Amino acid sequence: MPRGRRPALRALWSGALVLALAVGVPALERTGLVDGTGVASAEPRHYPTPGFESAGAPLGRPDPVASPSASWSAEERGADGEPARWDPCRPVHHVVNPAGMPPGGEEVLASALERVSRATGLRFVLDGTTDETDRATPYDPQRWGDRWAPALLRWDLSEERAVWLHELAHTVGLGHVEDAEQLMNPELTEVAGFAAGDLTGLAALGTGPCLGEV
């Protein structure tokens, strides 16, 4: 794989909420980056009943990290300085827009999700396909009922597994690092899988108390 920028990924980030931060909103809300305190307002509620599907304990645990490394960063941090993360005590739902999916794409995505699941301990559940290309709000009860909308995964960026791993790592809260040995370097390099810093960050982001209040 030639060295170069990750133009598709940059376009992804600056464009619609594709793979990314929308899915982290429950955690962001909890950490104060998003105001979720509209309870007494006359406005329609903009978040679901808290605790949907929460098992009360983490659904899984990250694989042990063989070589812990500090070479990772959090995509977002709350007012308390803690990384925005998913609730490890309930499944992470997602839907896939298959437009542009190459032959074999389902296997590429399933493999990447499985890898991220092992690294974080998070459990991913596919809710099916969608024709959505954007997500205006993370809570759309008319379409998805009384729960957070599933993460939206779009195929129109790349068929490379490494690119999917990089993007899925963003969706679970991992940010970029300068270290060219890590997959979370923003440049497209020869690194094809998660390295020590990536894995350390993924394990940290998948570990923590339940977030049953969101």
Residues binding Zn ion (CB under 5 A)? 9
CA distance 106 to 108: 5
Measured from each CB, the residue nearest to Zn ion is 9
CB of 105 to Zn ion, least distance (A): 20
Which is nearer to Zn ion, 9 or 152 (by Cβ)?
A: 9
Q: How far is the CB of 201 from Zn ion (least distance, A)?
A: 13
Say if residues 139 and 149 touch (Cβ distance below 8 Å): yes
Q: Which is nearer to Zn ion, 89 or 157 (CB)?
A: 157
Q: How far is the CB of 9 from Zn ion (least distance, A)?
A: 5
Joined together, the tokens standing for residue 99 give 């437009």
Task: Fill in the amino acid letter for 105.
Answer: G
Q: How far is the CB of 49 from Zn ion (least distance, A)?
A: 33
Distance of closest approach, residue 170 Cβ to Zn ion, in angstroms? 6
What whole-number distance in Å separates Cα of residue 130 and Cα of residue 134? 11
Q: Which two tokens stand for residue 78?
A: 């709350």
Residue nearer to Zn ion on the CB measure, 9 or 116: 9
Nearer to Zn ion, 87 or 198 (CB): 198
Residue 9 or 165: the one with the smaller Cβ distance to Zn ion is 9
Rounded Cα distance between 187 and 141, Å, is 38
How is 177-214 classified by DSSP, letter by letter? -S-TTSTTSSSB-S--S--HHHHHHHHHHT-S---TT-
Name the residue nearer to Zn ion (CB basis): 9 or 108: 9
Q: How far apart are CA 189 and CA 192, in angstroms?
A: 8
Smallest separation (angstroms) from Zn ion to the CB of 13? 7
Phi-psi region of 136 (alpha: psi -120 to 50; beta: other; left: phi over 0): alpha
**Contact 22/84 with Cβ under 8 angstroms?**
no
